[in-house]
Amino acid sequence: MNPFKRFVASVLIASTTLMGLPLTAQASIVSTDESMSVASADANRDKVTAFLAREDIRSALQAQGVSGDAATERVRAMSDSEVSQLASRVDQAPAGGILGLIFTVFIVLLITDIFGLTKVFPFTRSVR
């Protein structure tokens, strides 16, 4: 028998034998609080992303040297607690006073650049 056919036959025999082994699965009950926290985290992330999609916000970010797409990608990479804090700042900001929020996004991006997690600003040097 050809060595290639022998190898293929051996692999097929082994895989067919292993398919019969039982697989274990784990399940648990998801509490209402856990379910609601995931939903609220998604809502907060959508709120911040929609805020960053506004044209006036994008132009203010561009003035700081940050592209809107980079800021949106960073929001996707944030933890749920960071996004929650940022969403509460969006809610607290007055209609025309968004400069503090833009400054917060700028600082978050600057810190992540310094730690080497992102590369948004050309003037930063990573500590890595």
Tell me, letter by letter, the H, E, C secondary structure of the chain: CCHHHHHHHHHHHHHHHHHCCCCCCCCCCCCHHHHHHHHHHHHHHHHHHHHHHCHHHHHHHHHHCCCHHHHHHHHHHCCHHHHHHHHHHHHHCCCCCCHHHHHHHHHHHHHHHHCCCCCCCCCCCCCC
Ranked by mean pLDDT, which of 3-17, 26-40, 73-87 comes out on top?
A: 3-17
The predicted pLDDT at position 94 comes to: 59
- φ, ψ of residue 42 to 5 degrees: the values are -65, -40
Decide if 25 is inside a domain. no
Residue 1 has pLDDT above 80, yes or no: no
How many domains does the structure of the chain reveal? 1
| Tens-place pLDDT, residues 104-113 | 777 877 788 7
The predicted pLDDT at position 6 comes to: 92
| Tens-place pLDDT, residues 65-98 | 878 888 888 888 888 888 888 888 777 765 555 6
The predicted pLDDT at position 8 comes to: 92
The predicted pLDDT at position 98 comes to: 64
Average pLDDT (3-14) is 91
The predicted pLDDT at position 80 comes to: 82
Decide if 33 is inside a domain. no
Decide if 59 is inside a domain. yes
**Residue 118 belongs to what domain range?**
55-128
The predicted pLDDT at position 52 comes to: 83
Decide if 124 is inside a domain. yes
Decide if 78 is inside a domain. yes
Percent of the chain with pLDDT over 90: 6
Average pLDDT (23-40) is 78
Taking the C-alpha atoms of residue 110 and residue 105, their distance in angstroms, rounded to an integer, is 8
